């Protein structure tokens, strides 16, 4: 569902961009740059002066497409030469294919991160493990090749979503996109130096992979996925690929229905669910769905009562809630290190299970009676 939703929007934007470029070449007067030309007249009135100013600054310092494409091709050429020398199991053709497919996955992940604030780069990395591991096979080092391809794919995909978030921050703070991009390049360059040093320190200070040292549980998980992948798709659960294909098509159908409803102005367009939003809880669990539901209801009621203020202050309210929730992790960690437990505990069980728990707790409080 994630790939289907992202791929549909990727192709939709690609078609619209191509058509817009065609208009600019054939009818430049009609295709003049109008940042809010596609915005509904009611929404255009809601846009504040700050929104208009932000859009003007953001569009003024765009990064030329030729530079972006040229830099990507240059990095791909360096990787095609360098990565096979580091990981012998990964051939140059595999790196080329990874760089060909990565932009589509990068767009899907950036699109999903923008909708849900959750980066699912690890899911695309796991998909790369299966694809490259199964194609290379266990006899030719498919495990190492799959893990290397996973790292390559996650590096590209996660960087795309991080850069989009930085661009949004720059948009909100009236910062030039070029400045944000240069800062990202500088940070990435420093990371190429700092990350290996940090890894070397951990490698020398701890026994990586051992429980008494530095267990690195995710390393074992990804290695297990790679071992599963090299044995081919037959190792997956029964009907796994059929389910995957069915929900991939379902996501495309939902996106197509939403696009048609938006184009024709159907009242149903606001009530068609997001395929990506439906898919994220399957990866992350359902623990945050109640929070998102409550927030959506509050925003909906706020928009109905005062649409202008809701549009202006909703990002500030959301930012405050996110920051508060994140900051609380620090005192929570300190309390956990000091072994300070909350004074009360809430549990919800059935009557039978609750009786068993009470009986067990009674035996702990009265060991002599047992």
pLDDT in tens, 44-92: 445 567 777 888 888 887 788 888 889 899 999 999 999 999 988 888 9
Whether residue 238 is found in the same domain as residue 348: no
> pLDDT: is 153 or 286 the higher one?
153
For residue 321, the model assigns a pLDDT of: 87
Residue 139 predicted with pLDDT over 90: no
Specify the pLDDT at position 36.
Answer: 47
- Residue 194 or 115, more confident: 194
Mean pLDDT in residue range 285-293: 75
Question: What does the pLDDT read at residue 211?
Answer: 61
Q: What is the pTM of this model?
A: 0.65
Q: What was the pLDDT predicted at 316?
A: 86
Q: Please give the tally of structural domains in the chain.
A: 2
Same domain, 193 and 96: yes
Question: Is residue 370 situated within a structural domain?
Answer: no
Q: What is the mean pLDDT of the chain?
A: 80
Flag whether 368 is in a domain.
Answer: no
- φ, ψ at 335 (rounded to 5°): -65, -40
**306-322 per-position pLDDT tens digit:** 888 888 888 888 888 88
**Is the pLDDT score of 343 beyond 80?**
no
The whole domain housing 339 covers: 304-363
Q: Are 230 and 355 part of one and the same domain?
A: no
Whether residues 278 and 321 share a domain: the answer is no
Identify which has the larger pLDDT, 234 or 300. Answer: 300
250 has a pLDDT exceeding 90: yes
Q: Has residue 332 been placed in a domain? A: yes
The per-residue pLDDT for 209 is: 65
Whole-Å CA distances, 109 to 69, 131, 174, 290: 19, 18, 25, 23
> What CA–CA distances, in Å, run from 98 to 79, 113, 130, 145, 250?
10, 21, 13, 12, 26
Mean pLDDT, residues 146-161 taken together: 88
- Alpha-carbon gap, residue 298 to 129, rounded angstroms: 41
Shared domain check, 41 and 94? yes
Inside any domain, residue 369: no
Say whether both 81 and 156 belong to one domain.
yes
User: What per-residue confidence (pLDDT) applies to 41?
Assistant: 45
Looking at the chain, the whole-number percentage of residues with pLDDT higher than 70 is 87
pLDDT tens-digit profile of 166-212? Answer: 888 888 888 888 888 888 888 888 988 998 988 888 777 777 766 66
Q: Are 176 and 57 in contact (CB under 8 A)?
A: yes
116 and 101 in one domain? yes
Burial of 100 (0-12, 13-18, 19+ CB in 10 A): exposed
Tell me the CA distances in angstroms from 370 to 12, 168, 358, one per residue in order. Answer: 69, 63, 14
**What share of the chain in percent tops pLDDT 90?**
9
Q: Which of 303, 328, 350 is the last residue of a domain?
A: 303
Higher pLDDT, 40 or 299: 299
């Amino acid at each position: 569902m994630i790939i289907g939703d992202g791929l549909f929007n990727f192709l939709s934007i690609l078609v619209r961009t191509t058509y817009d470029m065609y208009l600019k070449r054939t009818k430049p007067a009609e295709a003049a740059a109008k940042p809010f030309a596609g915005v509904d007249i009611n929404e255009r009135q809601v846009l504040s002066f700050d929104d208009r100013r932000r859009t003007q600054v953001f569009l003024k310092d765009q990064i030329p497409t030729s530079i972006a494409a040229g830099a990507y091709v240059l990095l791909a050429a360096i990787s095609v030469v360098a990565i096979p020398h580091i990981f012998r199991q990964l051939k140059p053709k595999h790196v080329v294919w990874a760089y060909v497919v990565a932009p589509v996955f990068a767009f899907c992940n950036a699109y999903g991160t923008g909708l849900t604030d959750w980066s699912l780069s690890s899911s695309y990395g796991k998909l790369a493990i299966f694809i490259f591991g199964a194609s290379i096979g266990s006899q030719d080092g498919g495990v190492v090749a799959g893990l290397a391809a996973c790292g390559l794919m996650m590096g590209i995909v996660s960087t795309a979503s991080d850069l989009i978030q930085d661009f949004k921050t720059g948009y909100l703070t009236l910062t030039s996109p070029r400045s944000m991009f240069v800062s990202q390049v500088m940070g990435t360059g420093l990371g190429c130096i700092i990350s290996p040093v940090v890894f070397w320190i951990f490698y020398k200070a701890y026994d990586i992979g051992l429980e008494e040292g530095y267990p690195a549980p995710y390393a074992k998980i990804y290695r297990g996925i790679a071992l599963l992948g090299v044995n081919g798709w037959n190792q997956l659960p029964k009907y796994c690929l059929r389910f995957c294909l069915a929900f991939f098509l379902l996501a495309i159908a939902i996106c197509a229905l939403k696009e048609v409803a938006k184009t024709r102005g159907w009242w149903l367009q606001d009530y068609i669910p997001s395929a990506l939003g439906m898919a994220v809880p399957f990866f992350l669990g359902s623990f945050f769905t109640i929070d998102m539901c409550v927030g959506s209801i509050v925003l909906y009621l706020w928009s109905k009562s005062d649409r202008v203020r809701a549009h202006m202050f909703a990002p500030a309210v959301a930012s405050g809630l996110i920051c508060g929730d994140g900051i609380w992790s620090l005192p929570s960690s300190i309390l956990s290190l000091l072994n300070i437990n909350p004074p009360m505990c809430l549990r919800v069980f059935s009557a039978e299970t609750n009786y068993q728990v009470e009986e067990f707790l009674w035996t702990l409080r009265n060991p002599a009676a047992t």
